[in-house]
Amino acid sequence: MKTYKIAIVGASGFTGSELARLLVSHPAVSIEHITSESHAGKSFSDLHPQFYGILEKSLVSSDQLPLAGQDLIFLALPHGVSMEFVRKWSKSATKIIDLSGDFRLSGQSAYEKWYQIEHTFPDGFKDAVYGLPELNASSIRKAKLVANPGCFPTASILALAPLFAADIIRENTVIIDAKSGLTGAGVKATATTHFSQVNENFKAYGISKHRHTIEIEEQLELLSQKSNLVQFTPHLLPLDRGILVTAYAGLKEDMDQNKLDALYRGFYKDQPFVRLRKTPPGIKDVRGSHFADLYPVWDERTKRVVVLSAIDNLLKGAASQAVHNMNLMLDLPENTGLNQIPLKP
């Protein structure tokens, strides 16, 4: 098997750490460079002690990263920062997977409306492919720039995609109640994520204006070719990692549980990392893995579909999804390096 040279830009956060954990044992890649602006010169294991004796590569500034010599680069950077790196490498042959939100949306105007900052490389939207393998594998295989989806959108879109693809959602009836562990807020503590605020607490945030709302709406609209407003409310859970989404929708046609199960089985029949559960999934059922566990239910009394969706926000919602995209872009078997069994308890 050919060995591909890769680089990770942005090593200090949870996503950079999880990318390294998956890639260090991936049989087809070699980690050539890992960057950090604030920790250049240190060993990677100085930042992440779990890698002691395993990955001792010295961190470098991104300015030292050569424009040639890598087959693929992961950008594990905040939104607003990645776009300039994509601009810098836009003439290079190197493939890029951007884990920020800078190229996930349909274009500059949508981005600037929802992210409230100027987009400095709008040309990148023309080439970017939305990196949800269950929906876009063929386009991802041919892409040079992949926009890795957000964690909440991943769980939400997978929950509802079969219904939108069949065009049976009743207009503007979708409600998404989403809950995430603390790592979804990033590695830097804030007043909101301080232990004393999160411990034994549970709260909603970003009500009616969270930027993942438009990401979810745009991707579901592509499936049905019809606009459909989504009511999305995220919540912060007092746990390390994991997402549980409960999505509700009214339908335009008659449904029963057997028809609903058949619809989901048919849509995901060739998707190795989507598991259709016989019982409601919990966060620990997917923790540490690349699986998305779904549980669709037809409520005969209210005539609504209820779908539960559980993922690990740092993996299926970020790092392992990026590796899945990498496998497709490098023409590798899509499950390479991604067969971790969930950690439980």
Domain of residue 228, residue span: 152-311
Assign residue 63 the CATH number of its domain: 3.40.50.720
- Tell me if 126 is assigned to some domain: yes
> Is the same domain home to 177 and 121?
no
Of residues 96, 99, 129, 151, which has the active-site annotation? 151
Q: pLDDT at residue 192 above 80?
A: no
pLDDT band at 319 (very low <50, low <70, confident <90, very high): very high
Q: pLDDT at residue 302 above 80?
A: yes
pLDDT band at 188 (very low <50, low <70, confident <90, very high): confident
Return the pLDDT at 183.
85
**pLDDT one-digit tens code per residue, 200-231:** 999 999 999 999 999 999 999 999 999 999 99
> Is the same domain home to 75 and 169?
no
Q: pLDDT at residue 296 above 90?
A: yes
- Tell me if 60 is assigned to some domain: yes
* Residue listed under structure tokens 């579901």: 220
Return the pLDDT at 17.
96
Assign residue 256 the CATH number of its domain: 3.30.360.10
Q: What is the mean pLDDT of residues 12-41?
A: 96
Q: What amino acid is encoded at 211 in this protein?
A: R
What is the DSSP code string of 169-203?
A: BPTT-EEEEEEE-GGGG-SS--TTTSHHHHTT--E
Return the pLDDT at 205.
94
Return the pLDDT at 196.
80
Please calculate the CA angle 61-62-64 and round it to the nearest 5 degrees: 75
Catalytic residue at 151?
Answer: yes
State pTM to two decimals.
0.97
